[in-house]
């Protein structure tokens, strides 16, 4: 029996594997069927009814995303009846949607607005006015939910449940009163939300957005009493260009530094310095645990969304986490102690701004543990999108900027730090250092290709001084759950595990440009690896600024001062 079926779509003969949907097949022959509830990474919902098609012999219009191709089908995707139905559905959505497009965060990238234009809707036949008005949930330090802009497509619900295994939002009520809410409408800050922001990337409208601190940062820059420094995460240089019309995968490190200098920051530094520092501490911690038969597997602690996830869902496994702070927080602590003293600046007069691909970093910066400099180590966190908005506000011609470099010493970094932005990057960077710390030998091949790639869960092993070191890399919290459940059952074979909350790692963070899909994530990863290859130094422990930091201030990895400034503890959080 053949595994293929033959059918006709808009007059074109198509062969397809059994089980393929009409939507998938239409896309393969360059027919883009309008849709809102469909998302390539999520289960089929089939509620928006914008992707309807006509199938010969069937009286009803069928949703192409949920209709399986059958032998001999004759499908039409663009008839007068279909166009009328699609317009009607969008007009009904618009009749119940706020009219604040000019001031909405999703202006120009709203899927509902684009669809209404593409479908030729130039006037609304239905009386405007919402039947119900709902309060905005701004309880979270990272994410704002506006139920009034929600079109009930369920994409946020599905990404939270299926990709992240968190499930803090769902439909409540029925009919016209249906909403997407948290448990008992407590607000995102009072449930198990990890602040990862994947719901923002999934949302087709402005119903979800990051909580912005742009005004606070402008105020700090304008305050002559403030010494304002900025740090930029590894992934941002591979993505911020998209906000200015550049293709995914554009590496704009020099333009980014130049733009930030024009915004008025006093010093332009790099979170990659913090990443190198993290690796030196983390690699030594791993080696120490192995040598002393400490708690294994050791799990990375760079992703704040992942940290909050384990605190809520697997608090009994907190001992497996590396005690290292994230690069963002290590940078803040060092900036307000070592660097502040170096330049004669009071820590309270220094204002540290982070530009991150991640909405959860906003939450992390406010954690009470992150005050080892004596005050809050990182004062404000901007997403990639927010940083781009500031550059646009300032009228800076980003694309035509000449490349500039970071300031020293906290702007010096290695290739190992650059790859932090991609899934598997922290693991690879740590292995580059751990191998040489343990063996005393120079790595012949820098790249550890075995931990690269976009598979949700990767397993590998390397030999280190006769020990077979078993490794695992997971991205997306549903994949993290698999590894944690193994640990719970006492069946984990691993020594070292890297976990990132977001699909693709930081390249797919909740604060990144839209759209962020698999194709885009792969292009961004290519840029990150190009940055690594172009660096003259590609191992964290060889960073001269890191070497100087230990010599002048920290003394040694895992030393007393390092422990105080660069390491942290975690919190057992309740389930709601």
Q: So which residues are the catalytic ones?
A: 282, 285, 302, 322, 361, 364, 369, 506
- Smallest CA-to-CA distance from 33 within 88, 86, 110 is with 86
List, in sequence order, the alpha helices (H) in 314-383: 327-334, 340-343, 360-365
Helix, strand, coil percentages in the chain from 3-state DSSP, rounded to 5: 45, 15, 45
**Do the Cβ atoms of 560 and 452 come closer than 8 Å?**
no
| Cα–Cα distance measured from residue 249 to residue 454, given in angstroms and rounded to the nearest whole number | 15
Q: What are phi and psi of 460, to 5 degrees?
A: -155, 175
**Residue 59 neighbours by CB under 8 Å, 6+ apart:** none
Task: Read off φ and ψ for residue 468, nearest 5 degrees.
Answer: -80, 110
How far apart CA 304 and CA 510 sit, in angstroms, is 12
* Residues 308, 571: Cα–Cα separation, whole Å: 9
Helices within 110-238 (DSSP H only): 111-118, 155-158, 198-202, 214-222
Exposed, middle or buried, 489 (CB in 10 Å: 0-12/13-18/19+)? exposed
Helix (H) or strand (E) holding 354: strand 350-356
Identify whether the C-beta of residue 350 lies closer than 8 Å to the C-beta of residue 181.
no
**E strand map for 111-250:** 143-145, 169-172, 179-182, 208-210, 227-232
Element (H, E) at 474: strand 467-475
Rg of the chain on CA atoms, in Å:
25
For tokens 């911020």, the residue is 240
């Amino acid at each position: 029996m053949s595994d293929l079926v033959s059918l006709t779509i808009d007059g074109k003969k198509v062969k397809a594997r059994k089980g393929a949907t009409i939507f998938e097949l239409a896309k393969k022959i360059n027919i883009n069927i309008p849709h809102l509830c469909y998302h390539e990474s999520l289960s089929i919902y089939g509620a928006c009814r914008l992707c309807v098609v006509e199938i010969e012999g069937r009286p009803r219009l069928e949703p192409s995303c949920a209709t399986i191709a059958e032998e001999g089908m004759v499908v039409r995707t663009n008839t007068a009846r279909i166009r009328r139905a699609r317009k009607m559905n969008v007009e009904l959505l618009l009749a119940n949607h706020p009219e604040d497009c000019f001031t909405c965060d999703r202006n120009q990238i709203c899927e509902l607005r684009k669809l209404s234009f593409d479908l030729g809707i130039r006037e609304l036949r239905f009386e405007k006015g919402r039947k119900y008005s709902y309060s905005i949930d701004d309880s979270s330090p990272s994410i704002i939910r506006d139920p009034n802009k929600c079109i009930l497509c369920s994409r946020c619900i599905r990404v939270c449940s299926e990709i992240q295994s968190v499930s803090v939002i769902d439909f409540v009520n029925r009919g016209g009163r249906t909403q997407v809410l948290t448990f008992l409408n407590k607000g995102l800050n009072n449930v198990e939300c990890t602040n990862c922001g994947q719901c923002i990337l999934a949302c087709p409208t402005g119903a979800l957005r990051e909580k912005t601190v742009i005004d606070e940062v402008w105020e700090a820059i304008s305050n002559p009493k403030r010494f304002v420094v900025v740090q930029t995460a590894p992934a941002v240089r591979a993505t911020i260009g998209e906000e200015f019309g550049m293709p995914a995968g554009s590496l704009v490190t020099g333009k980014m530094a130049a733009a930030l200098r024009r915004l008025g920051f006093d010093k332009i530094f790099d979170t990659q310095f913090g990443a190198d520092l993290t690796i030196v501490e983390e690699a030594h911690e791993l080696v120490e645990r192995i040598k002393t038969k400490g708690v294994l597997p050791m799990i990375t602690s760079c992703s704040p969304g992942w940290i909050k996830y384990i605190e809520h869902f697997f608090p009994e496994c907190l001992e497996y986490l590396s005690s290292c702070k994230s690069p963002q927080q290590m940078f803040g602590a060092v900036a307000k102690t070592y660097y502040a003293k170096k330049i004669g600046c009071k820590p309270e007069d220094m204002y540290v701004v982070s530009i991150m691909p991640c909405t959860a970093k906003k939450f992390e910066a406010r954690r009470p543990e992150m005050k080892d400099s004596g005050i809050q180590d990182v004062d404000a966190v901007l997403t990639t999108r927010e940083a781009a908005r500031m550059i646009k506000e300032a009228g800076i011609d980003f694309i035509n900027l000449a490349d500039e470099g970071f300031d020293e010493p906290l702007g010096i970094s290695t290739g190992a730090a650059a790859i932090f932005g991609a899934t598997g990057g922290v693991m690879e960077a740590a292995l580059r250092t751990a191998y040489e710390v343990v063996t005393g030998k120079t790595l012949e091949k820098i790249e550890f290709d075995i931990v690269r790639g976009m598979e949700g869960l990767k397993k590998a092993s390397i030999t280190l001084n006769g020990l077979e070191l078993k490794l695992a890399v997971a991205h997306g919290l549903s994949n993290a759950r698999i590894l944690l459940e193994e640990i719970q059952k006492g069946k984990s074979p691993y020594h070292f595990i890297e976990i990132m909350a977001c699909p693709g790692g930081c390249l797919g963070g909740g604060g990144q440009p839209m759209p962020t899909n698999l194709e885009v994530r792969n292009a961004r990863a290519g840029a990150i690896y190009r940055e690594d290859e172009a660096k003259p130094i590609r191992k964290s422990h060889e960073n001269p600024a890191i070497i100087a930091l230990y010599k002048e201030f920290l003394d040694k990895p895992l030393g007393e001062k390092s422990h105080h400034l660069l390491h942290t503890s975690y919190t057992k959080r309740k389930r709601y």
